[in-house]
Amino acid sequence: MVLRRLSVAGISLAATLAAAVLAAAPTAAATPQTPRPATGSALAQAAPDIDVAKVQAHLTELNNIATRNGGNRKSSGQGYRDSVAYVKNKLQAAGYTVTEQPCTSGCAGGAGPNLIAEWPKGDAGSVYMFGSHLDSVGAGPGINDNGSGSAALLENALTLAEQNPDMAARVRFGWWTDEEQGLNGSDFYVNSLSTTERSKIKAYYNFDMVASTNGGYFINHVGSAAAAPMKAYWDSLGLQPEENTEGAGRSDDYSFEQAGIPTSGYAMGAGARKTSAQAAKWGGTANRSYDPCYHQSCDTTNNINSTGLNRSADGIAYTLWKLAAADTTPANDFSLAAAPSSGSVDPGASVSSTISTATTRGSAQTVKLSASGAPAGVTVSFSPASVTSGDSSTMTVATSATAAPGTYSLTLTGTGSVTHTTTFALTVKGTGSCTSQQLLGNGGFENGTTPWTGDTGAIGAHSGQSAHSGSRFAWLGGYGYSAADTLSQPVTVPAGCSRATLTYWLHIDTDETGNVAYDTFKVKVGSTTLTTLSNTDASNGYTQRTLDLSRYVGQQITLTFTAAEDAGLQTSFVLDDAALQTG
C-alpha cells in the first residue's frame, strides 16, 4: 500500500451488477479448515478451496528474490523484475498468454512493467478484473505489502486454469508496478484503455496487504454492489467485515475509481491501530498497528497471518467463480493417452499400443477412436474402435514392405461429446529415397504465427525493426531488462536424405558495449544447443546463418530459437526467412 494519502474523488459506485452479484449468504461459524460459504448455491459449491500452502510457497520465493537483490523488490530494481519473471513463468506454464506492459509515462525512473493475464474464455465484452501491486518499498521485501495480495492472486489464476470451468464472463489479472511511488502502474494501465475497453470492465477487485499479523477484515466499499460477493463470503465465516477506511485512495483500486469503474477488494490493514472493539471481534492486540512491520525490513515471510491469507485467497476464488463462471452443470469430459507413445518397426511388420481413456468430468460417454498422419504403406486399426470412457482399446500400426523409412507423428483422436487427441511416434526402420524439400512452415512469418509456438507475440510487423523480406519478422529480445523469448516448431526430417540444412537471416543490434556476451541467441534441436550468438555479434543489417542438421535425418525434432537478455542494456535479435532444406 502506498504511504502517502490521496484525495478520493466522489465517484458513484451505485452501478448495478445485476444477476452477477450474490445476495448475502447466511452466517456460518468461522473456521479456517472449512472456509466454504454456507449456501445451497451449486456455483458456490463449485468454487475451489485455494491451497494456502501454495500461496505461502509463492511468498517464500518472493522473499528469496528480495534477499538476492538487496533486500527489496522496489519497482525500479532487479528484485521487482525478477518478481515479474517469477509470476510470468508460472502463468505461462499454466497456459496463459501474458503481457508485460512497460510504464512509459508517470512512473519512477527505471520502473519495471505491469503484468497482465486474461483467461481466454467467456464473454469478452464483460470483464471482471482482479489486481494487486507487485512492488515493495525500498526498506524491505514487502511480503505482506504486497506479496500477500500478489501471491493470493497468482494461485487463484493458476487454480482457474487447472479447474478450467465453463465461463460466462472474462477474468483478467493485473500485477502493478510502482504502486509504492503513487499508484503509477495502475494509473498508466487505466489511462491506456480506450473508452470502449474501459466500459468492458464491469468491476475491479484489489488485494493489498491481505495477511496482516494483527489485522482486521476490511472490504473496500463494503456496502456496494461490487463488494456483495466478497462480503457474502466473509459473512459466511462470521467475520463481520468493516469498511476499509484506512486504505481509501491509497491503493490501485483508486486508479479504476477515477475512471468510473466499480471497485472493491480485501485488506487486513497497514499502519493504523486496531481498536478495542475490533480486538474483541477478531482477536489480536488493541492499540497496536494492524501490521507492525508495515514498510519495514521485518516485512518478511515471518510477517504473515496464514489464517487471514487463507480466508482472503478463498474469498477471491468465491468472488471470481460467482461473477464469471457459468452456473451450469459440468459438461461430460474424458482424457486420452497412449502407452507406449512411440514404437519402431521394420517394413512389413506391425507394432501395438494401449489407448486408455478416463472420465474426467461428468458421466462416462462413448468415445470413437481414429488416427491420422500415417504415411503411405501404414495402416492404423483399433480393437475395439469405440470404448466407454474409463475403458481401453488396442491400437495396431501395420506397415507394408514398401513403407518409406522415417519417423512419423500419428495423431490419435477420441471423439465423444468433446474431442481429445494424443500422439504416437512411429519409426519405420531402414533407408529410403530422398525428395528434396523445404520443411519449415511459415519460416518468413508472413502467415500469422502458426505453426510456431512459444512467445508468438514476437512475430509481427513491429515498428522499430524491419523485415529481411516481406513485411513480418520475429523480434526476440530488445527489452533492456531480464527477459527471454522463445519460438519453436516441430519438424519431421524424412529418412533417405543425405543432408538437411537450416538457414535463417538474423539481424542483431545492441546497446551493449565491449566484448562480453551479456545477451544471447541460441538455436536448439530438442535440448541440444547447436549454436550461440550474442550482443558481440551485432552488425548492421541481416546476416544469413547456416547450420547442418543432417544428423537428424529420419527423425521428428523440435527446432527452437531462444533469445535471453540480462538486466542491463537491450539487445535485439531479429529473425526472418528461416528454412530447413533436405537433399
Strands 218-219 vs 242-243: parallel, antiparallel or unpaired: parallel
Give residue for cell 448475502.
24
The closest of 409, 404, 344 to 374, measured between CA atoms, is 409
Strands 169-176 vs 123-133: parallel, antiparallel or unpaired: parallel
3-state SS, residue 280: helix
The closest of 331, 378, 332, 389 to 355, measured between CA atoms, is 389
Give residue for cell 513463468.
89
* From 118, 155, 179, 246, the catalytic residue: 179
The closest of 494, 483, 499 to 562, measured between CA atoms, is 483
CA distance 337 to 344: 18
Which runs of E-coded beta strand occur in 453-537?
Answer: 453-454, 459-460, 473-477, 483-493, 500-510, 520-525, 528-534
- C-alpha cell at position 227: 463488494
CA distance 81 to 60: 16
Burial class (CB in 10 A: 0-12, 13-18, 19+), 37: buried
CA distance 108 to 31: 43
Neighbour tally for 124: CB within 10 Å: 11
Burial class (CB in 10 A: 0-12, 13-18, 19+), 19: exposed
3-state SS string over 61-83? HHHHHHHHCCCCCCCCCHHHHHH
Task: Give φ, ψ of 267 to 5 degrees.
Answer: -155, 155
Please give the helix or strand (H or E) that residue 233 lies within, else none: helix 228-236
3-state SS string over 522-547? EEEECCEEEEEEEHHHCCCCCEEEEE
Which runs of E-coded beta strand occur in 208-270?
Answer: 218-219, 242-243, 263-267
Which residues make Cβ contacts (< 8 Å) with residue 424, sequence separation at least 6? 338, 341, 342, 343, 353, 371, 395, 397, 409, 410, 412
Q: What sign does the dihedral 455-457-462-466 (CA atoms) show?
A: positive
Q: Is 179 a catalytic residue?
A: yes
CA distance 171 to 152: 15
Catalytic positions are 179
